[in-house]
Structure 1
Amino acid sequence: MPDGGTVRTTAAVSAGGMVGALARWGLTEAFPHAPGDFGWAMFAVNVSGGLLIGVLMAVITCGPRVHPLTRPFLGVGVLGGFTSFSAYALDVQRAFQAGAPGTAVTYLVATVVCALAAVYAGLRATRPLVRRGGRP
């Protein structure tokens, strides 16, 4: 039987995931694209989500102590639900099937490179700011 901490953590991840997934769904519905076109909305979601993951990790690891459910709720839940490897992979597959291999490969590579660069940028930009008032 799970303890209270496991239940709270699971609830935090679930609630955050719902918020993040709904935000992603709303953006991709607001900015749809044809199967052979570059998925700009999903690209923006994954890159901005990566940036926010970098910021969050800097705040959690270098800043003042945060509530223990902050990382499960925001990191795993909200940002994990917001970003989506599966939706991005489906977009790539659809571009290949639509006869747009150049778009598919560009989207495939650009998303990974830009999202990882965004995580790094978020960490690098945020660490000096949170260290000033953060942990010794």
Structure 2
Amino acid sequence: MKQASRKTEALRLYLAVGCGAALGALLRFVSGFFIVSGMGAGALWATGFVNVVGSFVIMLFATITGPDGRWMVGPTARQFVMGGICGGFTTFSAMSLDAFLLALHGGPVQAVLYLTAVIFFSLAAAWVGYACAMRINR
């Protein structure tokens, strides 16, 4: 009976991550659509935006739901948000493609500046998410 319970729990976790990833990917597509089509900004801005926002959200959620956090959620809910939604929302591969294309067409300096900016602002957003969560956790 224990084996069946473990399999059920594992299946629940896989479904949570998969559903969260689908939701995150949809949110990434919609935000990219609005940034590119609605605001007239380039695709680089859309990719940078999702990575910065995703860094904020994952750190905020991880800190709020961690062992010392205020929100007690189970591992399935944590993975739904962190591995699923945030994993589906953010996109390292698109950032890599953008940097590569910049290097090919705009020069390697632009590619390095782009990568540096996205990484810097993503880490800054993660720090802000952590700081906000720690304030909430008090």
Class of the TM-score when normalised by the shorter of the 2 chains: 0.7 to 0.9
1:87 to 91, 94, 100: 94
The TM-score, its normalising length taken from structure 2, stands at 0.83
Bigger helix fraction: 2
**Percent identity (aligned):** 32
* Secondary structure of the structure 2 residue equivalent to 1:113: helix
Q: For 1:51-130, list aligned pairs within 5 A.
A: 51-61=56-66, 62-130=69-137
* Secondary structure of the structure 1 residue equivalent to 2:75: coil
* Equivalent residue, structure 2, for 1:50: 55
* Secondary structure of the structure 1 residue equivalent to 2:65: helix
Structure 1 counterpart of 2:121, which letter? C
* Equivalent residue, structure 1, for 2:35: 31
* Equivalent residue, structure 2, for 1:134: none
Structure 2 counterpart of 1:43, which letter? G
CA displacement 1:26-85 (0-9 Å, x = unmatched): 22233349xxx6711111110011011111011111113113321110000000110010
1:19 to 9, 17, 23: 23
Cα separation, 2, equivalents of 1:118 and 1:129: 16
**Structure 2: runs of 5+ lacking an equivalent:** none
Cα separation, 2, equivalents of 1:107 and 1:89: 10
Measured after TM superposition, the shift of residue 121 of structure 1 is 1.2
Shift >4 Å, 4+ stretches? none
Measured after TM superposition, the shift of residue 106 of structure 1 is 1.1
The TM-score, its normalising length taken from structure 1, stands at 0.84
Cα separation, 2, equivalents of 1:39 and 1:16: 24
State whether structure 2 residue 3 is matched by structure 1 residue 3: no
**Structure 1: runs of 5+ lacking an equivalent:** 132-136
CA displacement 1:94-123 (0-9 Å, x = unmatched): 111113333211111111111111111101
Measured after TM superposition, the shift of residue 124 of structure 1 is 1.1
